[in-house]
């Protein structure tokens, strides 16, 4: 996940034109390099997150999940660097008391985004890079998982919601299993499921989430209607079903803001290719999202 929470850096100009690679673009502020980062802090947090995820799910789970998260965050990082947007290395968040042993990772990025194409590319790069690993790792994990009779499942088993993409992989690996059996997940399959879950959360079209950035790049000022509809829909679901599943996330989103700030140039056209990628990511959200992700 990327958060545009950094204080905007002072712009610099060169002959009225900013150059991106071999192309010239209209006048945009060019961020100066970020102050020197505390590399030791990023490394320490990552090492602690390795420990917390191993504690929760073992080495295979930790390796699978952290590989997906690393791909996701460095997708954002390298794309932001390609646009000369000031960005930090990922801050991983160890949390051994959670189901995954981590609360994921974030990068801090300058709020000074040159144009909507840059905003779209930086936001989309994370989920796309994460899925490149999440899909094959999940499928491999599902093939290694064990099909067991429903009555043989331990009494304290946690039941995970099955997003459509996960169901499709289960069918490819094991065929139609029927209602009287369940899939006892291999740690790698659990890591893949967690990667899909994190991807779906990040693609919610709200505020500073990746989906919020993508929605703003696609719809401009109208993205606030999309964000309000999604936020209101999740809140209504919690009220009608008397569940607190989404309340912590909704409170966090409310704190950071539901609406998305403008980029430096929201008028620059996205083009058909980026709109097609936006549609693809919308489908990814639908196929990876589950309203009831976890049941005891």
Tens of pLDDT, residues 215-245: 999 988 888 899 999 999 999 999 998 888 8
- Tens digit of each residue's pLDDT (9 = 90 or more) over 194-214: 999 999 999 999 988 999 999
Contact indicator for 105, 90 with CB cutoff of 8 Å: yes
Q: Two tokens at 149?
A: 């009779």
Domain count, the chain: 1
Cα–Cα separations (whole angstroms), residue 199 to 107, 147, 196: 15, 26, 5
Q: What is the mean pLDDT of residues 14-39?
A: 48
Backbone angles phi, psi at 149, to 5 degrees: -60, 150
How far apart CA 250 and CA 227 sit, in angstroms, is 12
Query: pLDDT value at position 289?
Result: 94
Residue 41 domain boundaries? 2-295
Note the pTM of the prediction, 2 decimals.
0.85
By 3-state DSSP, what share of the chain in percent is helix, strand and coil, each rounded to 5?
Answer: 55, 15, 30
Q: Strand pairing partners for 108?
A: 3
Query: pLDDT value at position 23?
Result: 40
Query: pLDDT value at position 261?
Result: 67
Helices 187-202 and 116-144, interaxial angle, to 10°?
Answer: 160
Query: pLDDT value at position 263?
Result: 61
């Amino acid at each position: 996940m990327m958060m545009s929470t950094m204080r905007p850096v002072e712009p610099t100009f060169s002959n009225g034109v900013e150059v991106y690679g071999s192309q010239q673009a209209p006048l945009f502020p060019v961020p100066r390099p970020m102050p020197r980062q505390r590399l030791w802090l990023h490394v320490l947090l990552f090492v602690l997150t390795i420990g917390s995820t191993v504690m929760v799910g073992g080495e295979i789970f930790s390796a699978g999940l952290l590989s997906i998260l690393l791909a996701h965050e460095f997708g954002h990082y390298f794309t932001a660097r390609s646009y000369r947007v000031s960005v930090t290395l990922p801050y991983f968040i160890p949390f051994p008391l959670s189901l995954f042993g981590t609360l994921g990772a974030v990068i801090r990025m300058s709020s000074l985004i040159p144009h909507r194409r840059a905003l779209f590319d930086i936001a989309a790069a994370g989920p796309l890079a994460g899925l490149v690993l999440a899909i094959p790792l999940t499928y491999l994990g599902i093939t290694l998982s064990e099909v067991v009779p429903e009555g043989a499942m331990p009494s304290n088993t946690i039941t995970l919601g099955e997003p459509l993409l996960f169901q499709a992989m289960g069918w490819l690996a094991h065929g139609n299993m029927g209602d009287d059996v369940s899939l006892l997940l291999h740690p790698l399959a659990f890591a893949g499921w967690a990667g899909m879950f994190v991807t779906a959360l990040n693609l919610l079209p709200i505020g500073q989430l990746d989906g919020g950035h993508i929605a703003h790049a696609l719809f401009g000022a109208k993205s606030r209607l999309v964000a309000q509809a999604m936020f209101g829909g999740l809140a209504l679901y919690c009220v009608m079903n008397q569940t607190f599943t989404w309340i912590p996330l909704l409170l966090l989103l409310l704190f950071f803001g539901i609406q998305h700030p403008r980029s430096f140039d929201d008028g620059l056209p996205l083009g058909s290719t980026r709109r097609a990628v936006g549609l693809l990511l919308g489908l990814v959200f639908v196929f990876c999202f589950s309203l009831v992700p976890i049941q005891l």
